[in-house]
Amino acid sequence: MNAMAAHMDKTHRSPSSATEMLDLLSFLEEFSDELEGSFDLVGPNPHLRMMLHLLRGHVEARVITPTSAIGASRVPYATANRRLKEMVAAGLVEQRPRTASGKSFSIHPSDALLSQWTQLSGRIRRMCQARFGGETQIDDTKDYYFGGSYSAARSIPPLSVLTEPLRVAGGLRVLAHGDPTFMVMVNLKRQFEQAIGVRINQRAFSIDRLRQEALRNAEKAASRYDIIAVDLPWIGEFAERGVLMPLDQVMDIARLDPADFHTAGWTAAHWGGRAYGVPAQTTPELLFYRRDLFADAGLEPPRTTDDLLVAAKTLHQPHRGRYGIAWNAARGTALGHTVLMAMADFGQPVLDLPRIAGGFDAAHLARGGYRPTIDTEAGLQAAEFLLELLNYSPPDILSMSWYERVRPYAAGKAAMAYGYTLLAPYFEGDDRSPACGQTGYLPHPAGPGGRTIAPVGGYVLGIPANLPPERVPAAVDALAVFTSPEAQKLFVQNGSRTNPRYSVAADPEVRRASTIFEAVDEMSWRDELQFWPRPPVPEIGGIVQICGEEFHDMLRGSVSPRQALRNAQGRADALIRSDQTK
C-alpha cells in the first residue's frame, strides 16, 4: 500500500488546485504588503489578513488558533480580537473545541467563507485574464446536471470542517481497496483528519483480499472497521450475508443528495430496494485509444467490435515493440470480468435478466428466480471475439490483469486498452507517457445484437452490520464527508479519475483536470453507463471465477469455444442451484 501511495504521489498526481489556491492567497498577501508599504495612509486590513491566514491553514491542513490568527492581523491585539469576534458573529469562522472543557479551541473557515472565497478567486482570475492577458476562457455554458449551467461561480468550494469533531474512540477505522483513488485519500489523510476532527486509520488490500477481509470481519462480534469499501458486484452477497447494514436504518438518505449521483452507480448500491452503500467511485470500463496513432493510420474511433479488430490489426506492430490492444486475460477474477463485459457487448447478460429500455433490468434481483445464460449464440460470438483479440495482444496477455493491462498502454507499447477510468492516472499524470494528452475515451464498441455501453465498476462505502452502536453516528457522518461533492472534487484535484456525482463532473476545475469527466458525463446522459453486465447477485463472485477459469482454458487452446461455454454454463447452473437450496 505504501509503495503504491508513493508511486501515485511521484508520478500520477495531477497538478492540484490547492497549489492554485495557495498561489492566489500568496498573491493577495503580497499585494497587501505592497499597498501597505507604498502608501503611508494605507494600513493593514485585519479582516482580510486573518481570512487569508485562516484559508492558508485550511489548505495546508494546519491547526489555526485565535492567537495565531490575531498574530497574522498586523494590528494591535485588542483591535484584532474585536475583528475576529466580528468574523465569528458574521458566520465566517467556525470554532471547534480542542479539549473536553471547551476552553481551548481551533478556528476554521466556515462554509460561508469557503463559498465566498471560491467566488472571489474565480472573479480575480477572470479579471486578471481580461486586464492583463492570458489563456482564452473555456466555454463553460454547456448544459450539465439536470439542465443547469455551471460557470466558475458555481464551482464546488473546498472541503470544510465539521463544527464538532467526531467522537469515536481510537480514531476512525477504514478498510479500503489499494487502487489509485483510495491511495489519493492516503495522501490527503491530514486534510480529512482535520475535516472530521479525529485520526484516520486506513488499511488497503487488493480486490480479492479486500473481499476476504470484509467477510472475515463480518464474523467477528464487533467490527474492526467503521467504514468498508465494497466492490459494486458484492452488494447482493454482502446484503444477504449481513455484512453491511442498510443505510436507511441509521441515517436520512436525503442528506446524501441521491439525485446528484450517476444513476447507474447509485442504483447499483441497492439491494431489495434499500441502499447498502454510498458511491465513492463510479468508474466505468472504457476503451482507451491513442488518438495520434489512429490519426496517423487514418482510422476512425471504433464503434463496433469489427471496427476494433480492424484497428487492432492495423496498429499491431510487434516488430516495433507495439501491440494492438491490452486487456484483462489473467486466469480467474480478471478474465472473468472481461468475459461478462464481452458478453454484454454482444447484448447478452450473464443472467436471464428481463429486457427494459436501454438494456436489462438488474434492480430486482433480490426476488431471486434467476439463472445463468452463458451458453448462448451471443456468448459464442463473445468467446470468438476474445480469441481473435489474442492475435493482436502482447505476448504475456494470458497473465495480464488490472494494472498490467494499462502499463503497456501508458508506456506506448499498446495502441488501445480496456481499462477503468481509475487507471487513467497511470498515463494522464505522467508527461513521459506517449499516451499523456493523446488518449481518447470511448464506451465499449458493440457487437452484433448489442449496443455501446460503458460497464460501471467502482466502489461504495458502507457501514458494517456488526459495528458497535456507539460508533455508528460517527461512521455515518464520516461517510457523508468522504462521499460529498467537496471530497470528490478534492480527490480529482489530487489525481483521481473517478467520480460518482454529476455536480463534480460539471465543476469547471474538474473539467479542466481531464477530458475523461466530460466523456463519462456524456455517456451517462446517453444512458450508456450500465451495471447489468455484472449483476450484483450473491453468486456473482463464483460466476466470475468460473468464467475466468473456463475461458482461460479456451484462450490457451485446451478446449473449444463451445466446450468452454458448456463447461461454464454447467458449473454456474450448479452454483445457483446449490445456493438456492441452502
Q: What is the pLDDT of residues 417-442, one digit of tens each?
A: 999 998 998 999 889 999 999 999 99
If asked whether residues 263 and 139 sit together in one domain, one would say no
Give whichever of 82-91, 177-186, 401-410, 464-473 has the largest mean pLDDT.
464-473
Within this chain, do residues 344 and 466 fall inside the same structural domain, yes or no? no
- The verdict on 306 and 277 lying in the same domain is no
Record the pTM.
0.75
Q: Pick from 220, 223, 224, 113: which is nearest to 161 by CA?
A: 113
- Do both 261 and 290 map to the same domain? no
Check if the beta carbon of residue 574 is closer than 8 Å to that of residue 550: no
Residue 86 has pLDDT above 60, yes or no: yes
Query: What is the model's pLDDT at position 12?
Result: 39
Pair 408, 335 in one domain:
yes
* Higher-confidence position of 181 and 135: 181
In a domain, 508, yes or no: no
Is residue 78 domain-shared with residue 19, that is, in the same domain? yes
Per-residue pLDDT tens digits for 500-539: 999 998 888 898 889 999 899 889 888 899 999 999 999 9
Q: Which residues of 130-164 are buried (b: 16+ CB within 10 A; e: fewer)?
A: eeeeeeeeeebeeebbeeeebebebbbbbbbbbee
Residues 271 and 304 in one domain: no
Residue 19 located in a structural domain: yes
Q: Which pLDDT belongs to residue 5?
A: 41
The segment with the largest mean pLDDT, out of 31-35, 113-117, 313-317, 447-451, is 313-317
Number of domains in the chain: 3
| Average pLDDT value for residue range 340-350 | 97
Average pLDDT, the chain: 88
pLDDT for the residue numbered 131 = 67
291 lies in the same domain as 180: no
Q: Identify whether 79 is part of a domain.
A: yes
Q: Give dist(CA 270, CA 366) in Å, integer.
A: 10
Residue 13 pLDDT exceeds 60 = no
Residue 127 shares a structural domain with residue 63: yes
Classify residue 98 by its DSSP letter: S
* 444 and 563 housed in the same domain: yes
What would the pLDDT profile of 38-51 be if each residue is shown by its tens digit? 887 888 898 999 98
Model confidence pLDDT, tens digit, residues 460-507: 999 999 999 999 999 999 999 999 999 999 999 888 888 899 999 888
Number of residues in the chain: 582
The CATH number given to whatever domain includes residue 365 is 3.40.190.10
The residue among 232, 335, 221 whose CA lies nearest residue 281 is 232
Q: What is the pLDDT of residue 378?
A: 97
Distance of CA 221 to the CA centre of its chain: 31
Cβ contact 496:140 at 8 Å: no
- Is the pLDDT score of 353 beyond 70? yes
Domain with residue 23: its CATH number is 1.10.10.10
What's the pLDDT score for residue 17? 55
Does residue 149 surpass a pLDDT of 70? no
> Could you tell me the residue range of the domain that residue 334 belongs to?
283-453+530-580
The answer to whether residue 399 is domain-embedded is yes
Asked if 136 and 192 sit in the same domain, the reply is no
Question: What pLDDT does residue 150 have?
Answer: 36
Q: How confident is the model at residue 101 (pLDDT cuts 50, 70, 90)?
A: low
- The confidence band for 1, taking pLDDT boundaries of 50, 70 and 90, is very low
At residue 246, does pLDDT exceed 60? yes
Is residue 8 in some structural domain? no
Dist. CA 477–CA 291, nearest whole Å:
43
Sign of CA dihedral 569, 575, 578, 581: negative
407 lies in the same domain as 325: yes
